């Protein structure tokens, strides 16, 4: 069991120390070990899956508006499709597709441009007519919708199973995980990382990876870096199980919602921040959220009007100003790498970003050029905006 790692004493040295054991940290650790780096430690201040990964909706989509996100998402989807076999554990992948619903003409025009871009990159998304949507997904009330796009390979995976599979795969290759081990400082001598101070002792290392999700800014400050990653609390509700009536994830940017029916019949749903009293942190909830959420989804899916809510929780997005992640080594502190700021999409991109960060660390040319997502782009004024975010 993963918790068994708690009984081991903390090593004095490591080739790489990863801060954060969520899906990003776990993927990076596995990929490093797969590439031959054996002395890898993963530290987490909390317990297994108590951060953002364990609180996400776990959607996976290749339908994006920016070229780089399309490339990253497609590459990640390719990995997801073979990941259960590679790691030897079921990750709960279900590819029921994503149906994107536009309620504004301008939004539909953007979605059509997105499809052209996606098709040019090998993503076989399509534009669906009202009649096609009615025939394929008859439970939906689409009378107010303007247009739709769909990609059959999109879907979701289980965030618990996926992260556990990465952790177990990494452990088999020699990676050690330490929970309830808080990083309290990072030593940098000159412009280079020298070690990590934790609540359980000091670790000498030349490489530290910041995969701390919504706490990434605090970790970066330990080496004197200021990164624009803000924790933003989002809420999610889950219904009781009902007979299957909807296969794809349904999402709308103008409607500001997403919902999907899980394999057990429950619906999971959420939305971006709206003008009401938001939760203060990832453990706080608001009574208005379920009310507003219900109003949104029952208009589109009337069959949910009599369905009872079962659970309600909150979690953090780690948000950047351009809604793209920060990937790569700091220009100012050598050996300090970041894989943070995914703005709610760290789970779906973790298979490929874990590989890319590992490639950077071992000095290999990254499989996808993500230099535009370098940490310094904000001070350079070279932001890479992504419009397709809920």
**pLDDT single digits (tens) 217-240:** 999 999 999 999 999 889 999 999
What share of the chain has pLDDT > 70, as a percent?
96
- 318-366 pLDDT, tens digit each: 999 999 999 999 999 999 999 999 998 999 999 999 999 999 999 999 9
- Choose one of 319, 337, 363: the last residue of a domain: 319
Number of domains in the chain: 2
Q: 249-252 and 98-102 as β-strands: parallel, antiparallel, unpaired?
A: parallel
**Of residues 121, 145, 115, 113, the one with CA closest to residue 132:** 145
Together in a domain, 183 and 204: yes
Together in a domain, 258 and 131: yes
3 state DSSP class of 136: helix
* C-beta separation of 260 from 60 below 8 A: no
Please state the rounded mean pLDDT for residues 189-211. 96
Beta strand segments in the chain, E: 16-19, 40-43, 59-60, 98-102, 126-128, 147-151, 155-156, 176-178, 183-189, 192-198, 201-204, 208-210, 230-239, 249-252, 257-261, 267-270, 309-319, 326-329, 336-340
Residue 233 tokens, joined: 């609390």
Is residue 220 in some structural domain? yes
**Of residues 245, 252, 231, 253, the one with CA closest to residue 342:** 231
Is residue 207 in some structural domain? yes
- 179-193 pLDDT, tens digit each: 999 999 999 998 999
Q: Residue 331 maps to which CATH number?
A: 3.50.50.60
- 315-328 pLDDT, tens digit each: 888 999 999 999 99
Together in a domain, 266 and 136: yes
Predicted local distance difference test score (pLDDT) of residue 51: 86
Q: 257-261 and 208-210 as β-strands: parallel, antiparallel, unpaired?
A: unpaired
Predicted local distance difference test score (pLDDT) of residue 277: 59
Is the pLDDT reported for residue 6 higher than 70?
no
Together in a domain, 34 and 135: no
Is residue 137 in some structural domain? yes
CA distances 370 to 22, 210, 379, Å, are: 21, 17, 17
Q: Residue 258 maps to which CATH number?
A: 3.30.9.10
Residue 166, beta-bridge partner list: none
What share of the chain has pLDDT > 90, as a percent?
85
Please state the rounded mean pLDDT for residues 103-113. 96
Predicted local distance difference test score (pLDDT) of residue 376: 96
Together in a domain, 241 and 166: no
Together in a domain, 207 and 223: yes
Residue 222 tokens, joined: 């330990």
Together in a domain, 133 and 224: no
> How does the average pLDDT of the chain come out, rounded?
93
- Tokens 């933003």 belong to 232
Is the pLDDT reported for residue 208 higher than 70?
yes
**Using CA atoms, how far apart are residues 100 and 113, in angstroms rounded to an integer?**
13
- Choose one of 319, 334, 352: the last residue of a domain: 319
Is residue 237 in some structural domain? yes
Helices (H), the chain: 23-34, 67-87, 105-120, 130-136, 159-172, 216-221, 288-300, 346-361, 377-380
Together in a domain, 234 and 128: yes
Together in a domain, 235 and 199: no
- Choose one of 319, 353, 368: the last residue of a domain: 319
Together in a domain, 199 and 340: yes
pTM, rounded to two decimals:
0.94
List the domain range (segments joined by +) for residue 187.
2-54+160-229+322-380
Together in a domain, 299 and 172: no
Together in a domain, 315 and 170: no
Predicted local distance difference test score (pLDDT) of residue 44: 96
Predicted local distance difference test score (pLDDT) of residue 204: 98
């Amino acid at each position: 069991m993963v918790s068994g790692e708690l009984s081991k004493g903390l090593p004095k040295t490591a080739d790489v120390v990863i801060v954060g054991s969520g899906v990003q940290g776990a993927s990076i650790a596995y990929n490093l070990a797969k590439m031959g780096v054996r002395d890898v430690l993963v530290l987490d201040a909390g317990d297994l899956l108590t951060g953002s990964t364990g609180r996400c909706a776990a959607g996976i989509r290749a339908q994006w508006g920016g070229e780089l996100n399309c490339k990253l998402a497609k590459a990640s989807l390719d990995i997801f499709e073979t990941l259960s076999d590679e790691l030897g554990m079921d990750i709960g992948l279900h590819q029921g597709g994503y149906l994107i619903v536009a309620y504004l003409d301008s939004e539909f025009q953007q979605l059509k441009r997105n499809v052209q871009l996606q098709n040019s990159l090998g993503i076989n998304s399509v534009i669906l007519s009202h009649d096609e949507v009615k025939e394929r997904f008859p439970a939906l009330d689409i009378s107010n919708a303007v247009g739709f796009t769909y990609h059959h390979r999109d879907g979701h995976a289980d965030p618990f199973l996926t992260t556990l599979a990465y952790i177990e795969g990494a452990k088999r290759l020699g990676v050690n995980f330490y929970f309830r081990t808080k990083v309290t400082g990072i030593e940098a001598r000159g412009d280079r990382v020298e070690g990590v101070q934790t609540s359980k002792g000091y670790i000498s290392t030349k490489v530290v990876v910041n995969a701390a999700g919504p706490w990434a800014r605090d970790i970066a400050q330990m080496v004197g870096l200021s990164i624009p990653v803000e924790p933003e609390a989002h809420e999610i509700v889950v219904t009781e199980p009902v007979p299957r009536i909807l296969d794809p994830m349904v999402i709308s940017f103008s409607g500001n919602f997403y919902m999907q029916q899980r394999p057990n019949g429950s619906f999971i749903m959420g939305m971006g921040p709206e003008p009401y009293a938001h939760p203060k942190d990832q453990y706080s909830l608001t009574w208005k959220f379920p009310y507003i959420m219900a109003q949104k989804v029952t208009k589109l899916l009337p069959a949910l009007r009599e369905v009872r809510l079962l659970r309600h929780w909150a979690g953090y997005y780690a948000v950047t100003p351009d809604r793209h992640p920060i990937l790569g080594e700091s220009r100012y502190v050598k050996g300090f790498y970041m894989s943070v700021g995914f703005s709610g999409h760290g789970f779906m991109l973790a298979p490929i970003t874990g590989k890319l960060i590992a490639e950077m660390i071992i000095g290999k040319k990254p499989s996808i050029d993500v230099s535009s997502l370098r940490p310094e782009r904000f001070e350079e004024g070279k932001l890479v905006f992504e419009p397709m975010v809920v």
